[in-house]
Amino acid sequence: MLKTPYLLFLGDAPDQLAAKVAQGIRHWRPESCVGQLRFPGCNADVGLPDMTVEEARKAGDQTMVIGTANRGGVISPAWLETLVAAAEAGMDIASGLHNRLTALPTLVEAAERAGTRLIDVRVPQQEFPIADGKRRTGKRCLAVGTDCSVGKMYTALAIEREMRNRGMKATFRATGQTGILITGSGIPLDAIVADFMAGAVEWLTPDNDPDHWDLIEGQGSLFHPSFSGVTMALIHGGQPDALVLCHEPTRSHMRGLPHYALPSLEALRNLALETARIVNPDVRVTGISVNTAALAEEDARKCLEEIEACMGLPAVDPFRQGAGRLVDALSA
């Protein structure tokens, strides 16, 4: 969907956290990045050469990606001049923010004149079929979580990287806006119309070589009442051979829902297996990915040991330890 390489737009990012999307792209797809564009006073830096629009274009840039978010997650009026310049220079522009590039008339006119594309990755870019549930060739691994935002995207990307490092055939399949910007393609599942959710996931993970792995980015949680339907469509559309459970051990309640406790990993394993077996009787849970960012090193080690002993499955924090043991288990 997106043409590489990218110029990452950091603009007036007030701090490093505001450039999270750019950092993700830089971390997972360094080969897709030619540089970063920062305004004077920008407080973020993702370690790429600073470039103007003109310099980036000369360096071969095809797309400027909005890699930052101001408060509210919207496109700032202060960015407009630079966005217009990028479009006029012949770059596509891609954004995952809430308000749309295509809702900015000045920018739309500039892009039309230059024949470049404005790509709002939160907006589905095509129509999808209704799922048919047919068995597909190739292997699929889906990350499912005890909650939203527990590291499902990170886990799938870490597994993809480890598999590729080992020479295995592997493709991360993005289902959310950050994942789409990182890899340049995917589906914004939470913006797809209900009837077509599972069909979109099938479309995203088509027949493939028998030894190829799709690493499917998870969304929501079967236990999160706001988004469980999206998760269910991922499980049934994704037809996973393997599930990796994702968990954040210090979370006191479901994200955004103070009145809901997190499920246990056992409960997640059971419900995820039960639902996934409907489309793939041979599905297995192969490992557990624990986001221990909130724990000190020693506490993290203990936490992982306990989970591993209790669940009888490899439990790792891929950020601290890499995804090697998760890939070992998938390859077994």
Spatial CA neighbour of 84 closest among 75, 73, 97, 96: 75
Based on the shown chain and the rule CB under 8 A, indicate whether residue 99 belongs to the binding site for a second copy.
no
> Could you tell me if 35 and 55 are in contact, meaning their C-beta atoms sit under 8 angstroms apart?
yes
Based on the shown chain and the rule CB under 8 A, indicate whether residue 247 belongs to the binding site for a second copy.
no
Give Cα separations from 28 to 23, 177, 216, 220 (angstroms): 9, 15, 15, 22
CB of 279 to a second copy, least distance (A): 5
Based on the shown chain and the rule CB under 8 A, indicate whether residue 203 belongs to the binding site for a second copy.
no
Based on the shown chain and the rule CB under 8 A, indicate whether residue 14 belongs to the binding site for a second copy.
no
Based on the shown chain and the rule CB under 8 A, indicate whether residue 33 belongs to the binding site for a second copy.
no
Contacts of 302 (CB under 8 A, 6+ apart): none
Q: Which long-range contacts (CB under 8 A, 24 or more apart) does 305-314 make?
A: 307/247, 307/249, 307/265, 310/265, 311/245, 311/265, 311/266, 311/269, 313/245, 313/285, 313/286, 313/287, 313/288, 314/286, 314/287, 314/288
> For the chain, what's the residue count?
332
> Considering only residues 259, 296, 297, 298, which one is a binding residue for a second copy as defined by CB under 8 A?
259
Q: What is the CA radius of gyration of the chain?
A: 20
Structure tokens at 17: 């956290």
> Considering only residues 31, 132, 282, 297, which one is a binding residue for a second copy as defined by CB under 8 A?
132
Based on the shown chain and the rule CB under 8 A, indicate whether residue 192 belongs to the binding site for a second copy.
yes
> Considering only residues 18, 197, 307, 329, which one is a binding residue for a second copy as defined by CB under 8 A?
197
Based on the shown chain and the rule CB under 8 A, indicate whether residue 133 belongs to the binding site for a second copy.
yes
Based on the shown chain and the rule CB under 8 A, indicate whether residue 72 belongs to the binding site for a second copy.
no
> Considering only residues 103, 166, 225, 294, which one is a binding residue for a second copy as defined by CB under 8 A?
225
Based on the shown chain and the rule CB under 8 A, indicate whether residue 28 belongs to the binding site for a second copy.
no
> Considering only residues 85, 108, 114, 232, which one is a binding residue for a second copy as defined by CB under 8 A?
232
Nearer to a second copy, 62 or 231 (CB): 231
Residues of this chain that bind a second copy (CB under 8 A) = 130-135, 189-195, 197-199, 222-223, 225-233, 236-237, 254, 256-257, 259-260, 263, 271, 274-275, 278-279
